[in-house]
Amino acid sequence: MNNEKKQLVLLGVTGSIAAYKACELVRLYQKAGLDVKVIMTKHAQKLVGAATFRALTGHAVATELFDDPGAAIHHISLAEEADVFVIAPCSANVLNKIAHGIADDLLTTTALATTAPFICAPAMNVAMLKNPLTHESLKVLDHAGVTIVGPGEGYLACGSEDSGRMSSPEEICAATLRVLARTTDLAGKRVLITTGPTREFLDPVRFISSPSSGKTGFALAREAKARGAEVVLVSGPTELQSPLGVEYVPVVSAQEMLEAARAHFDSADIAIFAAAVADYRFAEQLEEKFKKGAGLPALELTENPDILATLVARRNATNEKKPFVVGFAAETENILANAEAKLKAKGADLIIANDVSDLKIGFASEHNRVCFVTQGSREQTELMSKEQLATVILDYILKKL
Ligand code: PMT
């Protein structure tokens, strides 16, 4: 008989119609060799019976702050026991409450008390999801290091096809396994990441830029930090909240990004250039807004510095072996041939090629599929979330160090 203690998932189920899918999630966790205990909110119990989870998990289902006579402080004992804490589905109500530290029932009190890795899979009506208050709460949780899985798009309980649908139990289970498998294999390493777009202003109100959201670089920063690295994240303007525990350097233009990256490049062990830098800027930047009606402006462009190539040249000039330099190649045609040309021209150790003509991946999407291109090798990944991709990229880099 195998007496090894199983890792424990503490699963919070809230009052969303997706609560029934949490039963399937329990099964997936068990198949993965995990033990599961469930906390249900009052509203969740209107949708699925506590007896179902009791039968599935073999453990009493916790529903009340003071319902375990054996434990002096129930929420603390549950919080301490958990190897990972997952709320799936997480309703708008619970999500907004935990983002603001409100702890008025067993689930939200446990959420505030736990020090275990925390995963949240939101599920709600699209209007609730798009409400600026929910949007802010998601940013707060993300900033606090909570892993947010989804929500995805699809058929919602209110009858519409839109975003707000809970991610599939398979996706949530995979995210949980990733979090549990995290090691501190990047401890002692410094990682520099550039991300987001740059803005090259013509006048105070007009600029050249790209649709980069910064999601790729932020996911890499969070993952590297979680694996023990010291992380510097140099980011162009984005909507995203800077990750907790990461040195965050906001910049606007390519020139500013170069200066910020230069300041941290020499001390880095790994430098990842995920930013979509504008290759050109206006030769002249106007101090006042260019007035319509003054005829068509004669716009002259000039080339921006190539940040990656400039810094690699500096590394090579000093015969330094570090940092290991990773560039991305955003391509719309001849993806791999162009990526190989960039590998050579820019001198990177690795180029991560992605097809940005496909709107479901690349710029601003939640997912991506990439090809790792090094001298003499190509390795294609599956389509996956940018969080999952961050894990795969760091694993790949570590193999090459
Ligand atoms: O931010 P997201 O919405 O998540 O989108 C992710 C992404 C599509 C932006 C990302 O996956 C990506 O492809 N990033 C690189 C975008 C890009 O500008 O690629 P490029 O092929 O033009 O540049 C090649 C490499 O040189 C990149 O590493 C780039 O950061 C770097 N570069 C480019 C120009 C420049 N002046 N300086 C640079 O350092």
Q: Is residue 393 within 6 Å of ligand 1 at its C-beta?
A: no
Identify the CA nearest to 209 among candidates 196, 220, 224, 199. Answer: 199
The structure tokens listed for 314 are 């500096």
Quote the pLDDT of residue 288.
92
Cα R_g (the chain), whole angstroms: 24
Rounded CA separation 195/248 (Å): 11
Quote the pLDDT of residue 69.
58
Across the chain, which has 401 residues, the per-10-residue mean pLDDT values are 80 94 97 96 94 94 77 72 95 96 94 93 91 93 89 73 86 93 91 98 96 96 94 96 92 98 98 98 94 85 97 92 96 96 97 94 92 96 93 96 91
Quote the pLDDT of residue 73.
64
Quote the pLDDT of residue 123.
94
In this prediction the pTM is 0.84
CA of 354 to the centre of ligand 1 (A): 10
Q: Is residue 279 within 6 Å of ligand 1 at its C-beta?
A: yes
Alpha helices in 34-117 (DSSP H): 44-47, 50-57, 74-81, 92-99, 106-113
Q: Chain-centre distance of CA 400, in angstroms? A: 23
Q: Is residue 254 within 6 Å of ligand 1 at its C-beta?
A: yes
From 210, 273, 277, 373, mutation site for ligand 1 pocket: most ligand atoms within 8 A of C-beta: 277
CA of 286 to the centre of ligand 1 (A): 27
Q: What is the DSSP letter of 266?
A: T
The structure tokens listed for 184 are 């501190």
Quote the pLDDT of residue 162.
74
Quote the pLDDT of residue 158.
67
Ligand 1, atom 22, lies closest to the CA of 330
Quote the pLDDT of residue 220.
97
Identify the CA nearest to 18 among candidates 118, 101, 129. Answer: 129
Ligand 1, atom 31, lies closest to the CA of 308
Q: At what angle do helices 132-143 and 92-99 cross, to 10 degrees?
A: 50
Quote the pLDDT of residue 122.
96
Catalytic residues, by residue number, are 158
Q: Which residue has the tokens 């940092």?
A: 323
Quote the pLDDT of residue 367.
92
Quote the pLDDT of residue 269.
98
Atom of ligand 1 nearest to the CA of 213: 3
Q: Is residue 362 within 6 Å of ligand 1 at its C-beta?
A: yes
Q: Is residue 197 within 6 Å of ligand 1 at its C-beta?
A: no
